[in-house]
Chain A
Amino acid sequence: MVDIDELKERFLNLEFDRKDFTLDPERMITVARQCGETRPEYVDAEHPEFQALPSVIASLASGRHLPIEFPKLGGIPMDGGKAVERHAPVRPRVTLNGRTHLHEIYAKQGRSGRMLFMVSRMEIYDAAGTHLATSDSRMVVRERPTEQDDREQQA
């Protein structure tokens, strides 16, 4: 089994990706409307407080999901959830910079084996360096037992 403490020591809180984004107001409105949103600050691009819904912020994807040296864990990663914390309005047509690091790594034991959770955190800044929002993406992988694990279980 993968050593969680070793993974934490090697990978937590180290930035592994930077990526620029520019939000398109029409796409922001489409996202808001399809969610049933009616508030003008989310569906009217001319509104002085027009800004992105949390779902728009959660859709910003880093160039990599995990650090390049992160070990392969065997299973296919699943999207376990997302979180968005807003610190200031996120506006369209401005350059946003997303800086991503691994924020949490933990495991849960299930009946069919161990599940590994990796929380990748993107901190989103504007060109002036203002921290606008934080977006967490929770990846879940069902760990595939190694041959050594199998031998230990049989012993």
Chain B
Amino acid sequence: MSEIRTISDVEFGEELPIYTPDTSLDAVRPFAIAIGWSTGRGGRFDDHDAARREGLPGALVPGIMAMGFLTTVIHRWSPAARVDKIDTVFRAPLIADEIAHVGAVVTDIDEDTGEAELDLTVKNDRDETRVFGTARISLPLS
């Protein structure tokens, strides 16, 4: 696949290469600290046992970290794409230390404005959708 540099390089229905991010506690913990979610949340982002004591299935990957994975999958596919809008639905918990598959598909292209729409998904290893959403991106016209 050639590099996506302009809107004319984008194909309708194109599936972006799947990105498998680091969802380990060692990756989630610094993220939670950086956004100020490391205290007062009962260890739900950095300790599986503490999260289970709260009734959760395990320590969680924050929803906005999943949003970051979805932004990354777009940026990796096209170094020229700018994410103008991203809308994510946190359908079910994404558990730390579980494999996540982050994907996207092109659903609309406007060659006049340089904009494209994508459907986004984060699935676990059982092919269950945990987060889904849409993005509007823009690319150079030429």
Interface residues of A (CB under 8 A from B): 27-28, 30-32, 34-39, 53-56, 58-59, 79-86, 136, 138
B84 touches A86 (CB 8 A): yes
Contact A35 B71 (CB under 8 A): yes
Taking CB atoms and an 8 Å cut-off, the chain B residues in 77-123 that contact chain A are: 79, 82-90
The answer for the CA separation of A14 and B90 in the assembled complex, in Å, is: 26
- Are A54 and B65 in touch, CB under 8 angstroms? no
Q: Which of A35, A38, A83 contacts B68 (CB 8 A)?
A: A35
Q: Which of A34, A79, A83, A84 contacts B65 (CB 8 A)?
A: A34
- Chain A residues positioned under 8 Å from B82 (CB to CB): 86
Complexed CA–CA distance, A64 and B35 (Å): 17
Q: Does A55 lie within 8 Å of B90, measured CB to CB? A: no
Q: Return chain B residues, CB-CB under 8 Å to A32.
A: 68
Q: Is the interface of A mostly helix, strand, loop or mixed?
A: mixed
In the complex, the answer to whether B63 meets A35 with C-beta atoms within 8 Å is: no
Residues of B within 8 A of A (CB): 19, 21-22, 27-28, 30-31, 33-37, 63-65, 67-69, 71-72, 75-76, 79, 82-90, 133
The reply to whether A58 and B64 form a contact with Cβ atoms under 8 Å apart is yes
A85 touches B85 (CB 8 A): yes
CB distance from B102 to the nearest CB of A (A): 9
**B residues near A85, Cβ cutoff 8 Å:** 84-85
Assess whether A59 is in contact with B90, with CB atoms less than 8 Å apart.
Answer: no
A-B contact sample (5 more), CB < 8 A, given A35-B71, A79-B63: A34-B28, A36-B72, A37-B68, A37-B75, A54-B68
Q: Quick one: which of A55, A79, A81, A85 has the most chain B CB within 10 A?
A: A55
Query: How far apart sit A59 and B33, CA to CA, in the bound complex (Å)?
Result: 12
Q: Which residue of A lies closest to B90 (CB)?
A: A81
Find A80's partner among B71, B75, B76, B90 (CB 8 Å cutoff): B90
A35 and B85 contacting across the interface, CB-CB below 8 Å: no
Residue of A nearest to B69 (CB): A35
Min CB distance A118 to B, Å, is: 14
Q: Is the CB of A83 within 8 A of B35?
A: no
Partner of A53, one of B22, B68, B88: B68
CA distance A27 to B36 in the complex (A): 9
A34: chain B residues at CB < 8 Å are 22, 27-28, 30-31, 34, 65, 68
